[in-house]
Homo-oligomer: A and B are copies of this chain.
């Protein structure tokens, strides 16, 4: 590799040399001038998903009709797609199932875990966790009669997880540790094995939310002896907007946990239509109602691409690209008041890099509306640049950084309002 340079030709050289560069062609990219750095919110459309969608609608729904449940594999899709996701996250095929949304799955697992951990009253989490996770934890506590306490440990700097505080807080009262593996704003990523081991030593269960790491960061649930996990499929997994989520339960726990959302898809013999709920054995008991087959089936092309590429190769590229981005930041943006709001150490970071700026909101608006760059923004001041290593190019990164620079040096952001838009 030639030594680091700031110009765009160097970015192009990196693109030419990168062994994974050709995966970009597997995605539908209609406008090559659009710099998409929000794959950490909604992944791009795999070309294979277009064909799959056509087949799903016309042939499977339109022609197989009700027979699709058997003949097109709809009935077993939660397990089939789950087994593929299992390979991305270091779990056994029968330890992962696709169901509902991340928040609904979190509710199911949290309630089940707290009922198993009778007598233990504390749940540990942190203030880097995705807010929906905190809301679900609060709701579960309220529902179970306020016998539990939620300790939201504060990050020491708003970037790194409160690791020391977490270890200090673990004790015989801890029922559950519930954390995001990669933090949605700062990209801080916990050492899953270490935290899980410490929690287990205190007799606690551990639940990881993998939304911001799955598909970009290697995850080894079995190796880390993780109890429970949830995650979404519409970010780095490229499953489509709002595609159903997944849940993981370590095999030996599966038959000890009860799903509070005890619907017929979790019933032992649902088509016997018995009047009393009898949970199926294994993970299927954590299903509830009929799943949205079109959205569920369209997860598969994205997972297949990740499996074809291999998660370790992807991670290596993600690190190469984020380090390149950070070098550019250091030279070109830091002098303009941009801060690095992610850990500097790649080992502590997921696959997005967050930059702070006092004018972050207006800069973000300028990027989107004038510069054809799509990052995303998280209040109060953070611009997240998501590196989706299957399709993000070095040239994308270079262009985004140059345009960020231009927006500040030419004060383009001043054309925009300091009021946040209604939805982002």
Contacts and interface: CB of A to CB of B under 8 A. Distances in A.
Question: Which are the 6 A-B pairs with shortest beta-carbon distances?
Answer: A101-B289, A103-B263, A292-B295, A139-B262, A132-B264, A103-B289
Given A62-B45, A288-B104, A379 B264 contact: no
A69 to B, nearest CB: 6
Interface string A128-142: 001110111011001
A308 interface: no
Interface stretch (A47-55, A84-92, A337-345, A392-400): A47-55
A224 to B, nearest CB: 25
Contacts of A41: 66
Contact of A296 (B234, B242, B260, B270): B242
Nearest to A299: B292
Nearest to A244: B292
A36 B62 CA distance: 11
Given A45-B57, A135-B266, A273-B378, 9 more contacts: A36-B65, A127-B275, A132-B289, A143-B144, A241-B292, A242-B294, A271-B379, A293-B295, A294-B298
Interface string A264-293: 111100111111110000000000111111
Contacts of A240: 57, 61, 292-294
8 contacts: A42-B66, A101-B290, A104-B261, A132-B265, A135-B263, A139-B260, A139-B277, A242-B296
A298 B294 CA distance: 9
Given A67-B374, A131-B275, A289-B101, A262 B296 contact: no
